[in-house]
Each structure stands twice: as C-alpha cells, then as structure tokens.
Amino acid sequence: MGRTIAIGDIHGCAFALDTLLEAIQPTHADQIICLGDMIDFGRETREVIDCLIDLSDSCQLIGILGNHEEMLLNALENPRLVETWLNLGGWDTVNSYRYAGSLDDIPLEHIVFIQGFRDYFETSHSIFTHANYAPQQPLSETPAHTLRWSLLEQPYPGPHQSGKKVFVGHTEQSSGEVLDLGHVCCIDTTCHGYGWLTAIDVGTGEIWQASRWGALRDGEALDGLQQARATLRLH
C-alpha cells in the first residue's frame, strides 16, 4: 500500500513543486492530493499545471478545487467575472501563458484538467478540503463556500463528526509553520508570499517544505517542527 501525501496551496510556484516532488519521489502506489489554489499569484501556473498533468501518469493524483480555480472557471462561464478574477491573482496566471494575454491563451487541456478537480476527498482515516469543513455535517452536505472560502480561524471548528482528521490549505500561515490542532491540519504556508510550499505524509507525519525558488527547507529545522507536532499529538 502506498503513501497518502497532501500538498498545500501551490499558487503557480513551479520551482517549489518540482523540488518537493524530487524529494518525495512519488510512485504509482502513492496518492498525491493537491489541496487547491494551484493557480494565480505565482509566475509559473502554466508550468505547474503541465507538471501536475504529467504527475497524474505516475501516481494517483487527486486535485481539490480551490477558490482560485473556482474564480477561473466562473470567469470562463461569465465574462462579467473576468476582471474580478484577473485582479485577484488571475493576471499572473494569464501572463504565464502569454504576457498581457487573455483567458483564450489557456489551453483547453489545462481547462479540462482543472474542471476535473473535486470538492473534497475522503479516505478511511482522513478528509481533505481546500479551506474548511463543517464539524456536524457530512461532506456531501457541506456548502461550497465553506469548502473553498471559509477561513480556518479562532474559534476553531471541533473534530469532524466522522472522527477523521481534516487536512486543509487556504488560510495562510505567515509563520511558514504548519498549523496542527490534532483534529485539523492547515498546510498553506504561503509559498507565493516568500514562505514555503508544504507537503505532508498523512500516515507518518513526515513533512517536506520548499521555497518558491526551489530550495528545500533545512532538515534540522524540519526535524524540530516534526518533533513539536509529535509532542502536540501526545497531549
């Protein structure tokens, strides 16, 4: 049986993604779950989507729909929403395909790939959403706004009714550190904002982090972070 690994908000940071995948070395048995917001803000959205399409041939890749993918798809359907998306990071995405271009410059293959992203993903032990969850609601009944837009902030939600641990992104951890509350874990560590792109093996707790420029985070610092997380779980 392979690993289940979640990757936080990539936001067009292709060098960081490449570095993480080189460190992780995914196999066909592994599940790699991207928690949404793979596009916008960073300069390399086109390269990120190309990389993920290639990755889907070498492992079990699951894409979760983030609020930025939602804005892109809505803009494709409604021209009145294009300017809003462009001003919220979309220009960086368009420019990665053609500088000062338009939505028409995004290849159909990439659009279809993004359209295939899920609202959430669930295993026998874990739940994965982009933004948040409703503790007392099944995922199938949770509003889309909660799954894609709601911030994970105090007062934090309690454990999900399923008893499964929840992994999310979306709420930027400007410290660059993973927020692990035991029952919920946020791994958006602000790669595009000079933080880190984070991946976590949900089975072992192993963490990988890389900067937007493709530098792997110092191993000693990560060992300390993982020890702190282990201590938190014990308490």
Query: Average pLDDT in the 171-197 region?
Result: 97
Residue 218: which pLDDT band, with cuts at 50, 70 and 90? confident
Mean pLDDT of the chain: 94
In whole angstroms, give the CA distance from residue 133 to residue 149: 10
Structure tokens at 73: 């798809």
Residue 219: which pLDDT band, with cuts at 50, 70 and 90? low
Residue 233: which pLDDT band, with cuts at 50, 70 and 90? very low
What DSSP character marks residue 155? Answer: S
Q: Answer whether residue 211 shows pLDDT above 60.
A: yes
In whole angstroms, give the CA distance from residue 175 to residue 166: 21
What DSSP character marks residue 202? Answer: T
Query: Average pLDDT in the 183-199 region?
Result: 97
pLDDT score at 93: 98
pLDDT score at 129: 98
Structure tokens at 58: 């070498």
Q: What's the one-letter identity of residue 117?
A: F
Query: Average pLDDT in the 166-181 region?
Result: 97
Query: Average pLDDT in the 132-151 region?
Result: 98
In whole angstroms, give the CA distance from residue 231 to residue 196: 22
Q: Answer whether residue 74 shows pLDDT above 80.
A: yes
Query: Average pLDDT in the 91-108 region?
Result: 97
Q: Which residue has the tokens 């919920």?
A: 184
Q: Where are the domains of the chain?
A: 4-234
Q: What percentage of residues in the chain have a pLDDT greater than 90?
A: 92
Q: Answer whether residue 103 shows pLDDT above 80.
A: yes
In whole angstroms, give the CA distance from residue 217 to residue 35: 20
Q: Answer whether residue 229 shows pLDDT above 70.
A: no
Query: Average pLDDT in the 125-138 region?
Result: 98
Nearest to 36 by CA among 155, 173, 132: 132
pLDDT score at 234: 40
CATH, domain range 4-234: 3.60.21.10
